[in-house]
Structure formats: C-alpha cells, structure tokens
Amino acid sequence: MDRDTPIIVPEYISAYLEFPEQLGLKRTELARKAGVDLVALAENPRPFTLNEILKLVDVGIRELQMPYGGLAIGQQMRLTCHGMAGVSAMAQQTYADCLQAACRLCEKAFPPFSMQYFETEDTVGIRVIECISLAPFSHFFIESIMVNFKNILKFLLGKEYEPEYIAFPYPAPEYEKIYKRYFNCKIRFNAEHCEFVVAKSLARRELLLANQGIARMAEQDFLKTVPPINLNYLPKKLRLVLIQSVGAFPSLETAARKLGMSGRTLRRQLNSLGTNFQNELDLLRREFAINYLTKSDKCITEIALMLGFCDSSAFSKAFKKWTGESPREFKKNYGQMDKFRKQAFEKEWKTMELDTEA
C-alpha cells in the first residue's frame, strides 16, 4: 500500500544522531550504511520519514552492539530535543500541566506514539500507546522516552524526586539490571500499558520556570512547524480507537462516530489514503495475533475470542490468509527459530501490508 505517512521533526531525533557519534560511529558511516543522506539534512534540515528513522536505529544498534541503546540515548535527550514543544512543557504552571502538554504536543513531533494523560486517586501519569508500528525497535523507542521523562522530572522539580513507577508492556529484557541503573524507581514489566506515573502531590507542584505567556507562545510556534499530515493522520486516529476496543471492535459507523464524522466520510477519507476500514482492522488483528502467539501462553481459542472472531476456526482461516500458515504452525515454526532469525522475522512481518479492496 502506497500512502502518505507521518514524519518526524528533526529536533526530536537529534540525540539519536549525536549519541552513536560519541561512541565512535561517525555520522558519515551511519548515513552510508543506513542509506540516509544526513549531510544534506545538516545543510537543509527537513523532517525525517519514519522509515529513515528505523534504518538509522537499526544500523546504530548493530554497529555499536548495544541492545540497550534506547536507555543510553534517552539519557542524552534534553528538553531541547523536543524543540518549542519542550519549551511549552517546561513553562507550564504545574508538573501535571507539563504532562498534559507533553501529551498534546510531543506525539505530534513523533506520531507513532499516542500519549494519554490520566489520574487516579493518588497518582498522575502518561500512558504511551504505539499506534504506528516501530517493530522490531518498539522497546528501543519506549526506553528512550521513559528515561527522557524521568530526567525531565528531575530537571523541573529536583534530583531528589522519583516517579511512583514506570510500566513496560513487555517482559523484562536480558539486560534488566541496566533498567534498574537508569530508572532507580519501581519498574513493572508485562504491564497492560506503557506508563510513566508520579504521586499526585508531586504533580501539583508549581514549576520554577512557570510562565503561561511563554508556554502559550511556544505551543503556537511549535504547531506552526508541525507537518500538516501529523496533525490529522486518520489511520493513526482510527488505529487508536481500535486498540482501545480490543476484544469488542467497533463497526465502521461506531468508529466514525468516535472520530467525530459520518461513516461515509470515514470510508471516503480512508479510500483517498489507499486503505479501508476492514484493512486497518485486519492489520491490527494480525499484529495482536502474532504478538499473542510469539510472546504469550494464550491458547488459540482464547486469542480468537480476544480478537473478535466467533471461534478458533474463523481465526485460523483469517490468520492463514494473512501469513500463509495456521496459528499452530506459525507458533511452532517461531519457537524453533534462533534469536537472530526471530529479530529478522519480526522486522519483516511488521513491514508487510495487507491487500486492500477498492
């Protein structure tokens, strides 16, 4: 499927380019091996495509042999990496306001993630949802963002403060001890959501740099620089609606209402992007199915019901259409792969597209 995709503003990924160079991987070498013209970008800054970012990360991790590179790069990121969005966030009245600004603005600079602010009786936090696939580097980006959030917390409120907890929606990696070194707070793995959470009393603290005038002007300046497609990328917005409804996926008409439009408008706008509602739903179902089959102990019937199929037979038929294998065959073949083949496989299947109908 050939369609427009969101792009990444250059300020956001400055640390992703500087850090490999600090460890001896010259930018010219990184550019050559990734096939991305970084010289031209230095002379005439332009937004990066998501594909360019993933190529750079792939080369960086392999050349530096740093599976925990996301943690290390997150440590290098500063508020300036977020450009005027960062200025607006740090000039908010309270830390809770800062988190809400991050949800509003930072996901426009890095569209693959959607960020949701939430509150409980005792805590305040941000929930990060991957709406555009970053596989096989999802962990890398989540790690960098969480370390960055922790450092910004300390910068704005003081080095003595820590998050209440940080949650990751995947099992503890082989380098779990390095997580503890970077975060030094309560960490939850295999969580339902990726979350950065602080005590509500801490969130209510006023920021030393608070200035509502600067915050407002910085936000306005930032929005002027955001590529228009990042402001209203429909497949991402639809995907978020579907992700939040796993197990009881909405109809096209219901999804359209949640997006504030008619079913006819949703259908027309998706068609203009070379896709349709069923294709987007099947892409998400396939992604969840493969994740469940490769990273959980759930049985075939349980997965089928979780993905909205009436029974395991209907699920198996759809899955074989998507991958060429039955769920049982797929799980068995995946289990026989070595680590490197699994990584290559995950990278390949995440880039595959389903066929769309006119």
- For 263-293, the pLDDT digits (tens) are 999 999 888 888 899 988 998 898 888 888 8
Given a cut of 90, is residue 184 above it in pLDDT?
A: no
pLDDT level of residue 344 (50, 70, 90 thresholds): low
pLDDT level of residue 318 (50, 70, 90 thresholds): very high
Q: What pLDDT is attached to residue 212? A: 93
Spatial contact of 123 and 164, defined as CB atoms under 8 Å apart: yes
Given a cut of 70, is residue 352 above it in pLDDT?
A: no
pLDDT level of residue 42 (50, 70, 90 thresholds): low
Q: How many CA atoms lie within 13 A of 26 on its CB side?
A: 4
Maximum distance among all alpha carbons in the chain? Answer: 60
> Residues near 174 by Cβ (< 8 Å), separated by ≥ 6?
67
Exposed / middle / buried, residue 145 (Cβ in 10 Å: 0-12, 13-18, 19+): buried
Average pLDDT of the chain is 86
Q: What pLDDT is attached to residue 3? A: 45
Given a cut of 90, is residue 204 above it in pLDDT?
A: yes
pLDDT level of residue 111 (50, 70, 90 thresholds): confident
How far apart (Å, rounded) are the C-alpha atoms in residues 141 and 223? 23
Q: What pLDDT is attached to residue 339? A: 61
pLDDT level of residue 357 (50, 70, 90 thresholds): very low
274: region left, alpha or beta (phi > 0 left; psi from -120 to 50 alpha): left
Given a cut of 80, is residue 255 above it in pLDDT?
A: yes
Average of per-residue pLDDT across 130-157: 91
pLDDT level of residue 1 (50, 70, 90 thresholds): very low
Q: Answer positive or negative: Cα dihedral of 213, 216, 218, 220.
A: negative
Q: Is 45 helix (H, G, I), strand (E, B) or coil?
A: coil
> Residues near 104 by Cβ (< 8 Å), separated by ≥ 6?
219
How far apart (Å, rounded) are the C-alpha atoms in residues 358 and 352? 19
How far apart (Å, rounded) are the C-alpha atoms in residues 257 and 325? 36
Q: What pLDDT is attached to residue 219? A: 93
Spatial contact of 110 and 142, defined as CB atoms under 8 Å apart: no
Distances (CA, A) of 50 to 55, 56, 135, 163, 323: 9, 10, 12, 30, 24
Given a cut of 80, is residue 216 above it in pLDDT?
A: yes
Given a cut of 60, is residue 350 above it in pLDDT?
A: no
Q: What pLDDT is attached to residue 358? A: 37
What phi and psi, each to the nearest 5 degrees, are found at residue 352?
Answer: -75, 145
| Residues 52-84: tens digit of each pLDDT | 889 999 999 889 888 899 999 999 887 777 889
Given a cut of 90, is residue 161 above it in pLDDT?
A: yes
pTM for this structure?
Answer: 0.81
